[in-house]
Structure 1
Amino acid sequence: VGYAGGLRPELVPGEIILTDGAFNDTAVARLYGYDYDIIHSSKDLTNEIESMITSAEIPYKRGIHWTTDAGYRETWGQVMDYRDKGALCVEMEGVGLFTIANYRKCVATGIYVVSDVYSENDWKLGWEGNDIKRAVGAVIDMIIESIR
């Protein structure tokens, strides 16, 4: 569970993204022999989390995202390129997590709460309201309920 910047103008801070994997814009995956454009999350675990989110009636979007290891250095051209490829959000750890899980034959997925949204005309920051706090709380409560 982490925070990510939204790449699509229809997203709003506090939205939840369940990821199928990430576009790899890092050096980490290559260090472990995973020189792929997309590093996927664990499909079975992602499906299981989707079932939990649906049962908890938590609104979410599911798709792919972008991981970069150069936070706040994204260019507008990169944003448009990854958006055009289907990326919903951007963050810095997903590819590393999924790479190590694949390498160690473990499972991993990601749930991201949109903290801000970057678009052509605006940068919507979400830290002042309660939407992010509510979304994180809903996800954490869902996880805790699932292990009871």
Structure 2
Amino acid sequence: MLNREIAAGHPVILTAAVRDEGTSYHYIPPSREVEPRGNVTRALIDTFTEAGLDFRVGKAWTTDALYRETKGKRKARLEEGCEVVEMEAAALFAVAQFREVSIGQVVYGGDLVVPEGWDSRSWANRGDDRRLLFDLSAKAARKLF
């Protein structure tokens, strides 16, 4: 996470990803951001809302550079509106556009990247959170068919 306000385990439904990795450029023309395709994001939002689950909707910074989430890059991505940092969304969204299939993505508050350093926030011990998000995501997927 980039945003300190996002608690460990708190879900974030992604609306876009800043492209700071290599894979997405093999599938779609260069651009600063890429968005999910189709109505999956809407289905996720509707399903999470119906379940009464507190969640956020936001943008991700996708990077494939391990340990290069520097203070300067973190600040710049926050200024661009990114709330989370992860490694897959931009590539997945680009492949979905290329293949003309629908995609959406939800992540949850895990480790925290802050100027003082890295805080794991015990993100690996969030089995119940992952199970709930899986179940709700499956319910959202069923709405699409």
Q: In which range does the TM-score fall when normalised by the shorter chain?
A: 0.7 to 0.9
TM-score, normalization by structure 1: 0.86
RMSD: 2.0
Structure 1 unmatched runs, 5+ = 1-5
CA contact (8 A) 1:64 1:87 kept: yes
Please give the alpha-carbon distance, in whole angstroms, between the structure 1 residues aligned to 2:123 and 2:21: 30
Per the alignment, residue 44 of structure 2 pairs with 49
CA contact (8 A) 1:71 1:91 kept: no
Deviations 1:20-55 (A, max 9, x none): 110000121222232010010125210111000111
Give 2:85's match in structure 1, choosing from 53, 70, 90.
90
Give 1:134's match in structure 2, choosing from 121, 124, 128.
128
Please give the alpha-carbon distance, in whole angstroms, between the structure 2 residues aligned to 1:38 and 1:115: 23
CA contact (8 A) 2:111 2:123 kept: no
Pair 1:113 & 2:108 matched: yes
Amino acid at match of 1:54: T
CA contact (8 A) 1:20 1:40 kept: yes
Please give the alpha-carbon distance, in whole angstroms, between the structure 1 residues aligned to 2:102 and 2:138: 19
Per the alignment, residue 74 of structure 1 pairs with 69
Per the alignment, residue 58 of structure 1 pairs with 53
Please give the alpha-carbon distance, in whole angstroms, between the structure 1 residues aligned to 2:123 and 2:90: 29
Distance 1:141 1:81, change over 3 A: same
Please give the alpha-carbon distance, in whole angstroms, between the structure 2 residues aligned to 1:128 and 1:19: 19
CA contact (8 A) 2:17 2:60 kept: yes
Structure 2 unmatched runs, 5+ = none
Give 2:120's match in structure 1, choosing from 100, 121, 125.
125
Paired residues, number: 142
TM-score, normalization by structure 2: 0.87
